Amino acid sequence: MFNFGLFIVLLIALAFGWSLGKYGEPRIFKWRRPNSDDYFKGLNYLINDQADVAVESFIEQLEVTPKTLEMHLSIGSILRRKGELDRAIRIHQNLINSQSLGDKEICLAQIELARDFYASGILDRAENILLDLSGRSDLLRIDAQLLLISVYRDERSWHKAINIGNALRKQFSSGKEVATVQQQQKLSKALAHFCCELAEEALIESTTIDVQDFIAKALAYDSGCVRANLLAAKAAILAGNESKAKRYLLDVALQDESFFSEAVDVLATFSVDAETLQSVTNIQYKTPSHSGLMYMISANKQLFGDEQAEQVLKNELVSNPSFSGLNQYLELKSTTINDETNDLVKAVLQRLHPIRVNYECLHCGFRGSQMHWLCPSCKQWGEIRQRYGL
pLDDT of residue 50: 53
Residue type, 233: A
- Using alpha carbons only, what angle is made at residue 375 by residues 374 and 381, rounded to the nearest 5 degrees? 45
pLDDT of residue 11: 55
pLDDT of residue 25: 46
pLDDT of residue 59: 62
Q: Where are the alpha helices (DSSP H) in the chain?
A: 4-23, 36-47, 51-61, 69-82, 85-96, 103-120, 123-136, 141-155, 158-174, 181-205, 208-221, 226-238, 242-255, 260-267, 274-286, 290-304, 306-319, 323-332, 339-352
Using 50 as the pLDDT threshold, list the residues of the chain that sit under it.
Answer: 1, 20, 23-36, 39-48
Residue type, 126: A
User: Is 4-166 CATH 1.25.40.10?
Assistant: yes
pLDDT of residue 378: 95
pLDDT of residue 369: 86
What are the sequence ranges of the domains in the chain? 4-166
pLDDT of residue 207: 80
pLDDT of residue 158: 98
Residue type, 16: F
Residue type, 219: L
DSSP for 101-168, written as a single string: --HHHHHHHHHHHHHHHHHHT-HHHHHHHHHHHHHH-TTTHHHHHHHHHHHHHHHT-HHHHHHHHHHH
Q: Cβ distance 194 to 165 under 8 Å?
A: yes
Consecutive H or E run containing 368: strand 367-368
